């Protein structure tokens, strides 16, 4: 699709010379793009090592900093999951682990993976790196605030990790931090541990708000000439919508963290009713534990989509580029992202069907939840319809995308079980839930992250990751993760509850022992397989093949920078001018099977592009 122009006018005469011309050639009529309304921003270029690599204002460096910090927390989360699986599969080998330890590992694993790993990685990592490049800006609009955002995140991570070393250890309240147990003795880490967790979350939200404002305003205000909203890559749409969600949802987390801190430190009773503990009535009264759950899930459910929407966007772009075909139904995809984002604020209490809230809420929230399935299903159809009649490169990137489709559809379907209120009753708080959310918001987004790493590594580092290692990495991860979570659903059917340190000898649980051993072994292997990527990256940086510019023959702007990897300022002397959407692949009549966004209509006059 290209600019609007009138086909009846006879530009045919000029076209042959224009076709051979350089990108700069411009036909004043058909290539018209509105002039810029404001001048370019001034950038502060760092002078010293510290300004260039530590307290750096370049969004790309900040993106890499976010990425590496998030990956560090992810590795901590991975090790914690190994320890949990050791206890569940082989308790005789985990003699050193008490129930306190187990619950602390469960809690920290959950919180780290959802907030400090996935959210930070998608928005802080990919968002920072890709937004300015993809919309054709030189940097984020507030580079200094952007730098502060990362360092705030860094401090939040440091505080979180410090909680491992305080007396009593980190909190073991479960990642949902439900009061009253969270701040009462009887839950591990109910002293210093929970305080540090609440402080860390508050810092995260503050830092994240700084970053989020940047992402939103950069996308709204700093797009280059011709980059209309409906010409943005879906990656940008996904990250943009997720950021809007985060801006609206994180305040709920912040206030609940503050209120809980007050309950803990000043004995206020926001969430604390009258409580009898060890024969004594505590100095609380009148608070509502369910209020916390509403606040938490008002944040917590959009949070799922804060992770999922960037993944949706990124995977759409990866599939399109590697299937050499335009994304099917682009406008539907955009509206689905926006629609899912909006709906995600009306479904939170589906996490609370059996929480003791007024049961009549169940009707409303089951209905809204299942409505969300419709735009989500449309996205799935459009991904596979993009593959249909494509020219699919089955490379490492595409494998991760295919793995994403399988795991996401699987996890999405089990979501229909859990969203459908009365079906949720027997399944809630069982292993079915664990299997569901790991499949849909653990493994599926991880598949996208991995695909994105293999896809954009040549841009970031200028070298191609090793394909063979990449395929091994994919197959072990995909098959391993699938064999962890697919059978786990069936433990949930039996009724095995989550967050159990030990199963004892309940008759219907003994049959689960064998499966638990199998799942644990698979978990050890999948975790270890991630180090194939670490090895691949180190090897590639040392001896890898140099990447040519735009090795995947993609259309979006990030591949058309003046240098690879792009320097501070991203583009050369002049910012690129955009004439089309990023999905003009395999256009009939075009010389190559791709037409970059910067190509003017007059350069491809013989092609049958549709207009956007």
Partner 1 sequence: MHAGIIFLLVIIGSVLFHIFTPWYWTDIASNWGGMDDTITLTFWVGGGVFVAVCLFMIYCVFRYSHKEDRRAEYKPEDKKLEKILTWATTLGVAALLAPGLIIWNQYVNVPKNAIEVDVMAWQWGWQYRLPGADGKLGTTQVRNIADNNPFGINPDDPFGRDDIMVESDVINLENNRPVKILLRSVDVLHNWYVPQFRAKMDAVPGTVTFYWFEPNKVGEYEVLCAEYCGVGHYAMRGGVEVQDKGDYEVWLSEQETFEQLSARYEKLNVDGNKLAKK
- List binders of partner 1 among 258-317 (CB under 8 A): 273-277, 281, 286-290
- Compare residues 129 and 270 and give the one whose CB is closer to partner 1: 270
Site string for partner 1, 165-184 (x = CB under 8 A): -------xxx---x-xx--x
| Min dist. Cβ of residue 454 to partner 1 (A) | 15
Q: Please report how close the Cβ of residue 8 comes to partner 1 at its closest, in angstroms.
A: 22
Placement of tokens 């260039």 in the chain: 52
- Closest approach, Cβ 183 to partner 1, in A, equals 10
State whether residue 484 is helix, strand or coil.
helix
Q: Does 604 bind partner 1 (CB under 8 A)?
A: no
**100 is a site residue for partner 1 (CB under 8 A):** yes
Select the residue interacting with partner 1 from 42, 422, 543, 573 (CB under 8 A). Answer: 422
We find the least distance from the C-beta atom of residue 328 to partner 1, in angstroms, to be: 7
CA distance 139 to 148: 15
Site string for partner 1, 425-444 (x = CB under 8 A): xxxxxx--------------
Query: Which phi and psi (to 5°) does residue 281 adopt?
Result: -85, 125
Q: Which of 61, 242, 89, 249 is nearest to 149 (CA)?
A: 61
Interface with partner 1 includes 147 (CB under 8 A)?
A: no
Residues 57-86: x where in contact with partner 1 by CB under 8 A, - otherwise, as a string: ------------------------------
Residue list 515-574, contact with partner 1 (CB under 8 A): 515
CB of 225 to partner 1, least distance (A): 23
Figure out which of the listed residues 378, 469, 513, 532 binds partner 1, where binding follows CB under 8 A. Answer: 378
DSSP 123-154: IIIIIHHHHHHHHT-SS-S-HHHHHHHHHHHH
Number of residues that bind partner 1 (CB under 8 A): 114
**Per-position x/- string for 453-472, each x denoting binding to partner 1 as judged by CB under 8 A, each - no binding:** --------------------
Least Å distance, CB 394 to partner 1, is: 5
Is residue 55 a contact residue for partner 1 (CB under 8 A)?
Answer: no
d(CA 45, CA 31): 34
Find the binding residues for partner 1 in span 187-226 (CB under 8 A): 187-188
What's the closest the beta carbon of residue 361 comes to partner 1, in angstroms?
Answer: 10
Binding partner 1 (rule: CB under 8 A), the pick from 9, 34, 47, 331 is: 331
The closest alpha carbon to 170, from 150, 185, 192, 148, belongs to: 192
- Which of residues 11 and 486 has its CB atom nearest to partner 1 in the complex? 486
- Output the smallest distance, CB 272 to partner 1, in A: 8
What part of residues 470-509 is at the interface with partner 1 (CB under 8 A)? 475, 479, 482, 486-487, 490-491, 493-495, 497-504, 506-508
Q: What is the DSSP letter of 175?
A: T
391 binding partner 1? (CB under 8 A): yes
Query: Which residue's CB is nearer to partner 1, number 98 or number 549?
Result: 98
Residue 373 lies near partner 1 (rule: CB under 8 A):
yes
Backbone angles phi, psi at 391, to 5 degrees: -135, 75
For residues 144 and 142, what is the distance between their CA atoms, to the nearest angstrom? Answer: 6
Choose the binding region for partner 1 from 23-31, 128-136, 343-351, 409-417 (rule: CB under 8 A). 409-417
- The owner of tokens 């979501």 is 415
Token output for 311: 């993944």
Which residue, chain included where needed, has tokens 């991880």?
Answer: 446
Residue 189 phi, psi (nearest 5): 70, 25
Q: Which is nearer to partner 1, 63 or 180 (CB)?
A: 180
Query: For partner 1, which is the closer residue by CB, 35 or 507?
Result: 507
Q: Toward partner 1, which CB reaches closer, 325 or 579?
A: 325
- Which distant-in-sequence residues (6+ apart) come within 8 Å of 294 by Cβ? 348, 349, 352, 357
DSSP state letters, 274-311: --EETTEE-S--S--HHHHHHHHHHHHHHHHHHHHHHH
Contacts of 110 (CB under 8 A, 6+ apart): 174, 175
Q: Which is nearer to partner 1, 26 or 94 (CB)?
A: 94
Interacting span for partner 1 (CB under 8 A) from 116-124, 145-153, 224-232, 373-381? 373-381
Q: 155 or 332: whose CB is closer to partner 1? A: 332
Residues from 106 through 135 that contact partner 1 (CB under 8 A)? none
Instruction: Compute and round to an integer the Cα radius of gyration of the chain.
Output: 25
Residues 6+ apart with CB under 8 A from 580: 1, 2, 3, 231, 555, 595, 597, 599, 601, 609, 612
Q: Is the peptide bond before 234 cis (omega within 30 degrees of 0)?
A: no
Long-range contacts of 530-536 (CB under 8 A, 24+ apart): 530/78, 530/473, 530/477, 532/469, 532/472, 532/473, 532/476, 533/450, 533/453, 533/473, 535/469, 536/465, 536/466, 536/469, 536/470, 536/473
Q: Given the complex with partner 1, which of 148 and 398 has the nearer CB atom?
A: 398
CB of 594 vs partner 1, minimal distance in Å: 10
Contact pattern for partner 1 over residues 343 through 372, marking x by CB under 8 A: -----------xxx--xx-xx--xx--xx-
Shortest CB 460 distance to partner 1, Å = 25
């Amino acid at each position: 699709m290209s600019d609007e122009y009138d086909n009846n006018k006879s530009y045919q005469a000029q076209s042959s010379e224009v076709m051979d011309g350089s990108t700069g050639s411009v036909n004043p009529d058909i290539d018209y793009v509105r002039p810029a309304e404001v001048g370019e921003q001034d950038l502060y270029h760092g002078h010293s090592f510290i300004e260039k690599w530590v307290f750096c204002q370049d969004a790309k460096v900040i993106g890499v900093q976010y990425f590496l910090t998030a990956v560090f927390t992810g590795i901590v989360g991975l090790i914690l999951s190994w320890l949990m699986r050791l206890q569940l599969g082989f308790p005789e080998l985990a003699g050193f682990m008490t129930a306190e330890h187990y619950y602390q590992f469960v809690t920290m694993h959950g919180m780290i993976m959802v907030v400090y790993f996935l959210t930070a990685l998608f928005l802080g990592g990919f968002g920072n790196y890709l937004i300015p490049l993809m919309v054709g800006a030189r940097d984020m609009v507030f580079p200094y605030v952007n730098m502060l955002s990362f360092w705030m995140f860094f401090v939040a991570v440091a505080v979180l990790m410090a909680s491992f070393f305080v007396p009593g250890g980190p909190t073991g309240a479960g990642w949902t931090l439900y009061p009253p147990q969270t701040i009462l003795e009887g839950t591990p880490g109910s002293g210093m541990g929970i305080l540090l967790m609440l402080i860390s979350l508050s810092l995260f939200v503050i830092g994240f708000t700084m970053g989020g404002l940047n992402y939103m305003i950069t996308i709204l205000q700093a797009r280059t000439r011709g980059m209309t909203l409906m010409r943005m890559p879906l990656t940008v749409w996904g990250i943009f919508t997720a950021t809007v969600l985060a801006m609206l949802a994180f305040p709920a987390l912040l206030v609940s963290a503050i209120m809980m801190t007050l309950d803990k430190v000043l004995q206020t009773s926001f969430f604390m009713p009258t409580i009898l503990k060890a024969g004594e009535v505590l100095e609380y009264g009148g608070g509502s534990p369910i209020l916390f759950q509403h606040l938490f899930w008002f944040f917590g459910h959009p949070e799922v989509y804060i992770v999922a929407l960037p993944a949706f966007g990124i995977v759409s772009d990866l599939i399109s580029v590697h299937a050499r075909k335009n994304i099917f139904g682009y406008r539907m995809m955009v509206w689905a992202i926006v629609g899912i984002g909006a709906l995600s604020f009306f479904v939170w209490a589906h996490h609370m069907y059996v929480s003791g809230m007024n049961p009549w809420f169940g009707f409303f929230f089951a209905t809204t939840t299942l409505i969300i399935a419709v735009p989500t299903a449309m996205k799935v159809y459009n991904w596979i319809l993009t593959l249909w009649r494509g020219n699919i490169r089955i490379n490492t990137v595409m494998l991760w995308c295919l793995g994403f489709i399988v795991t996401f559809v699987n996890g999405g379907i089990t979501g229909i079980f859990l969203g459908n209120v009365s079906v949720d009753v027997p399944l809630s708080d069982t292993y079915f839930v664990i299997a569901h959310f790991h499949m849909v918001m653990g493994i599926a987004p991880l598949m996208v992250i991995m695909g994105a790493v293999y896809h954009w590594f040549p841009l970031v580092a200028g070298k191609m990751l090793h394909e063979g290692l990449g395929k091994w990495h994919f197959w072990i991860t995909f098959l391993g993760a699938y064999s962890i979570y697919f059978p786990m659903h069936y433990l949930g059917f039996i009724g095995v509850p989550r967050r159990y340190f030990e199963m004892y000898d309940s008759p219907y649980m003994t049959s689960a022992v064998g499966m638990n051993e199998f799942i644990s072994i698979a978990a050890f292997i999948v975790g270890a397989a991630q180090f194939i990527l670490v090895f691949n990256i180190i090897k590639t940086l040392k001896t890898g093949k140099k990447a040519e510019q735009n090795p995947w023959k993609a259309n979006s702007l990030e591949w058309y920078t003046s240098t690879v990897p792009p320097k501070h300022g991203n583009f050369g002397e002049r910012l690129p001018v955009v004439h089309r959407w990023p999905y003009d692949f395999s256009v009939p009549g075009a010389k190559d099977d791709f037409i970059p966004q910067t190509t003017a209509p007059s350069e491809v006059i013989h092609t049958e592009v549709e207009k956007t």
